């Protein structure tokens, strides 16, 4: 191993300042949310007084406060783990141990990626378990047994290895074999991989975790098919998913790509909404397709990933990128896996302050989808469906406005229903 490279104090300082600033803002936002929701806990907003009971409103407030407080602890823990991986030398130590054991090469790099993911998952495990078996259980949402959780975890681990390791090996090989423009080749491989996942997910991956049955409600099926025909949308099938085996939360979504698209309803959704309301919710989802939101998001994702790979290609060739984040790059072995991991750790720190832009766009898309749904079905049905879903999912009706601007990908209920009423 060569002599250590000198540290990069400017980049280290920039990283530390961005991390601290982001953490301070996140803590400030979370405390605002807790105080705002708690302040309005004992009074149902006037616009909802005829539809939402005080007990349901209080449950939503308590659930939101509990989740936010757990998020505060997880946030601080995550910042500590991040500092441990980077500035305190955790990733550097792990890399050196694997270099001593396996030598430099593809197997060592794959082992580094796998070990990082496994250790990171173990460090997050207490929060995952508390979220599922204490917080969600407390509010009546968790339906998952320990046995089912363990089975899901093993499946996810094996699936991650089967899918993740080959694409990681391909990208690592491209980084070492295709010259200075390796990032362009790697981006192309990444895009192809994501498109393939979208194609095979509904048929091969999702059934590993959940059971899907064809929709057998003839009345609802007729309404849904008529709606999709009016909207010019074709799907491979209508399916019901056993979401109730894991959670009481309700949802519906489109999945797949091209000819493999399918409509999936949670069984919990069908129990909570009548046929008219389900049709209105589905019309909202169709609105996303009509306004090409899915394609716009895919195009944005592809563009951002191209910029990300290009930035990674540039950063990976500079020693200060490694040393500034607490890692000594090797002079005798590839540092490609190190570069990928450091990039994954650093980008969210610097990108936090532009994140509100993406959720702003998402909220606008939701308003557009609501307007489309109202044009295709009944605004009253959609309003009732949304109120039921907000109530059944214990979503607070009184979030902090600043917190909403930073984090909410969907507009608050008050804003959505006011738009519908105006329309």
Measured CA angle at 235 (ends 232, 236), to 5 deg: 150
Helices of type H across 131-274? 136-138, 146-177, 182-200, 206-209, 218-231, 267-272
Strands 262-266 and 238-241 turn out to be parallel
Q: Contacts by 113-122 with C-beta closer than 8 Å and gap 24+?
A: 113/168, 113/337, 113/340, 113/341, 114/161, 114/165, 116/91, 116/341, 117/160, 117/164, 119/94, 120/81
Catalytic choice (92, 370, 392, 400):
370
Give the Cα separation of 30 and 257 in Å (integer).
37
Sequence-distant (≥ 6) Cβ neighbours of residue 86 within 8 angstroms: 15, 325, 326, 327, 342, 345, 346
Provide the token pair at 51. 């539809």
CB 407 within 8 A of CB 29: yes
Choice among 277, 279, 285, 336 that is catalytic: 285
Task: Report yes or no: 237 and 381 within 8 Å, Cβ to Cβ.
Answer: no
As given in the structure block, the two tokens for residue 344 are: 């994954």
* Nearest CA among 377, 380, 325 for reference residue 347: 325
* Angle formed at CA 3 by CA 323 and CA 346, multiple of 5 degrees: 10
In sequence order, the β-bridge partners of residue 238 are 263
Whether 285 is catalytic: yes
Output the six-digit token pair for 97: 């141990």
Residue 309's contacts (CB-CB under 8 Å, 6 or more residues apart) are 183, 184, 186, 187, 190
370 is catalytic: yes
Beta bridge partners of 264: 239, 253
Going by C-alpha positions, the residue among 43, 25, 32 that lies closest to residue 69 is: 32
Positions annotated as catalytic residues are 285, 370
């Amino acid at each position: 191993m060569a002599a250590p490279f000198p540290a990069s104090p400017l980049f280290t300082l920039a990283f530390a300042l961005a991390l601290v600033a982001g953490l301070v803002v996140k803590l400030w936002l979370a405390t605002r949310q807790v105080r705002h929701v708690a302040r309005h806990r004992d009074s149902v907003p006037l616009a909802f007084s005829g539809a939402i009971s005080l007990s349901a409103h209080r449950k939503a407030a308590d659930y939101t406060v509990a989740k936010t407080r757990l998020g505060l602890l997880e946030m601080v823990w995550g910042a500590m783990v991040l500092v441990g991986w980077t500035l305190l030398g955790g990733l550097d130590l792990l890399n050196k141990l694997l270099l001593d054991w396996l030598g430099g090469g593809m197997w060592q790099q794959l082992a580094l990626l796998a070990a990082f993911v496994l250790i990171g998952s173990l460090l997050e495990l207490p929060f995952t378990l508390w979220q599922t078996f204490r917080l969600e259980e407390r509010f009546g949402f968790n339906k998952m047994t320990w046995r089912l959780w363990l089975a899901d975890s093993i499946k996810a681990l094996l699936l991650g290895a089967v899918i993740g390791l080959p694409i990681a090996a391909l990208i690592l090989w491209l980084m070492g074999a295709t010259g200075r423009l390796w990032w362009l080749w790697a981006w192309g491989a990444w895009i192809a991989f994501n498109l393939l996942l979208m194609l095979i997910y509904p048929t091969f991956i999702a059934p590993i975790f959940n059971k899907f049955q064809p929709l057998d409600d003839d009345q609802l099926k007729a309404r849904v098919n008529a709606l999709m025909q009016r909207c010019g949308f074709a799907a491979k099938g209508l399916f019901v998913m056993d979401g109730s085996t894991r959670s009481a939360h309700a949802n519906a979504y489109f999945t797949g790509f091209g000819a493999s698209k399918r409509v999936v309803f949670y069984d919990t959704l069908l129990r909570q909404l009548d046929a008219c309301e389900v049709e209105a919710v589905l019309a909202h989802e169709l609105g996303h397709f009509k306004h090409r939101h899915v394609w716009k998001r895919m195009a944005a994702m592809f563009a951002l990933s191209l910029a990300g790979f290009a930035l990674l290609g540039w950063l990976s060739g500079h020693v200060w990128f490694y040393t500034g984040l607490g890692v000594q790059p090797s002079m005798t072995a590839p540092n490609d896996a190190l570069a990928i991991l450091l990039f994954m750790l650093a980008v969210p720190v610097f990108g936090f302050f532009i994140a509100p832009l993406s959720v702003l766009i998402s909220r606008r898309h939701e308003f557009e989808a609501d307007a489309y749904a109202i044009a295709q079905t009944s605004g009253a049905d959609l309003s009732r469906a949304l109120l039921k879903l907000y109530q059944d999912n214990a979503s607070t009706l009184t979030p902090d406005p600043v917190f909403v601007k930073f984090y909410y990908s969907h507009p608050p209920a008050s804003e959505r229903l006011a738009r519908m009423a105006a329309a």
